[in-house]
Amino acid sequence: MIHTIDDLIHKISTYESGMDLNRVPSWPSLRFSNTGRRGEKKEFEISLFSLEKTLIDIKNNFSEFEVISNYIEKQWRDAFSNYLTDPVVNALSTVQTLPLYSVVHKVLCAVNNIAYVEKQMPLTETYLNNTIAFLNRQVHNYTASISFHEITTEIDSKGTGENIIYYGAPGTGKSFAIDQKTGPHNSIRTVFHPETQYSDFVGCIKPSMGDDGIEYSFRKGPFTEVLIRAMNDPEQHYYLIIEEINRAPAAAVFGELFQLLDRNADGRSSYTIDINDKDLLQIFNTELSGKFPDNKLFIPSNLSIYATMNSSDQAVMPLDTAFKRRWKFNYIPINFSNSPEGSFEIIAMDKEHRISWSDFAQSVNRILSAEAIPEDRHLGPWFVTTEEIASPESSEKTLTGKVLMYLWDDVLRHTERTVLFHPDIRTFGSLVEHYSRKAVIFSDRFQNQLQEKLIAVLPGETEGITGE
């Protein structure tokens, strides 16, 4: 008879299968593998919370799963993708369909004491109910048996959480720097804008159409979503990524969560706050049973918050001093040692020339520096992408519709535009019109700056120019 997780694992160990399934020590999770037939075996984890949720999803859509109980990869991949509500498990199911099917199959057989036959799942509502009840008891027993101190100690031992804002000129690679430290499997990304509110960030009650008409349910925001994932998976470090944090009133968006940004040496929140929102509390009680004793909310040490900031944006809002104090700031300098390859065609010195994006941008930046225009308004190497300057057609659109517009409307908005542009050009529309008819659009000063970098365009060569 199966009474505990150890009993479950012992029973499953007797099954003939090329895929392993073991318990994760000190935490209610299972570690499982693929077959390794295409190379080295890879291991994955699923918490008992997520496994229970997966079985509930199967039960709620029983008619869809009952007809495909024997394993056919495409059918199960599609069913998992369509009906699993846990985003982490859903993502895993699309690339590790058989291993996840195998976990469900083995646990179902072990709990119900049924003979295990590879890829032939005995799927009935009774077996599902028994297995869901078993997992629910294990989760309840586990969370009831450990103290608040033990919970937070376990979570905080998995890494040091931190709050970092990456800032610099547009196109320096702030988001890229964050991507090098995170991955889609352990991060949630959101973008702030002037209308972003606390309810968008944390979550709120929203209407949706159900079978019986309009239904109201709590829709989790990115903060709540990543917090739940981090608390349920303490072996993995998670990241909340906020793009353009200063385009919204950040302190107001964080609201009372502001207090949680103070962290101790282990990376856990130094303080806790009361969970006063009843709907939010219900979500936490459902998905994080027992993990916030006394309804005290904190950020665990395995959850970091990374943000990007570009102060050159006209829509930016200054960060509150007290808010800024709770962040580390990481400056990303302008560095053209790695930049997209491609070129622009321009008229300079009364002739048609070609100039590489790198040379063009660095020449612009030298003019801006000479005019004491702050570096956060300069052009970073990745202000344009390789695709945007890969052909003459795309380069022309990028130059006029992106680069020149940024320089005209944002960088030189409160500065004499003749430092870069021809004095006869008074409007942006005139600038584009001059460029389209191959007239000079740049100032003599800027043309002289470009002179050594220009490459003459020979007759008939234009159509063949792509990236360099």
Q: Over range 349-367, report the average pLDDT.
A: 94
- Is the confidence at residue 363, as pLDDT, over 50? yes
Report which listed range, 53-57, 94-98, 401-405, is most confident.
401-405
Q: What is the dihedral of CA 25, 27, 28, 30, to 10 degrees?
A: -40
- Residue that the structure tokens 């030298």 belong to: 366
Pairing of strands 303-309, 328-331: unpaired
The mean-pLDDT minimum among 109-113, 160-164, 454-458, 464-468 falls in 464-468
Q: How far apart are CA 59 and CA 62, in angstroms?
A: 5
Q: How far apart are CA 386 and CA 335, in angstroms?
A: 16
pLDDT for 346 equals 95
**The domain 156-331 is classified under which CATH number: 3.40.50.300, 3.40.720.10, 3.10.580.10, 2.40.50.100?**
3.40.50.300
Domain with CATH 3.40.50.300 in the chain: 156-331
- Is the confidence at residue 467, as pLDDT, over 70? no
211 vs 67 pLDDT, higher one: 67
Contact between 201 and 275 (Cβ < 8 Å): no
Q: Over range 192-214, report the average pLDDT.
A: 84
Q: Over range 95-117, report the average pLDDT.
A: 92
pLDDT tier at 12, thresholds 50, 70, 90? confident
Q: How far apart are CA 461 and CA 345, in angstroms?
A: 11
Task: Give tens-digit pLDDT for 303-345.
Answer: 999 999 986 655 578 888 899 999 999 999 999 988 999 999 9
pLDDT for 314 equals 54
How far is the first Cα of the chain from the last one, in angstroms, to the nearest whole number? 70
Task: Give tens-digit pLDDT for 263-284.
Answer: 999 999 999 999 888 888 888 8
pLDDT for 207 equals 75
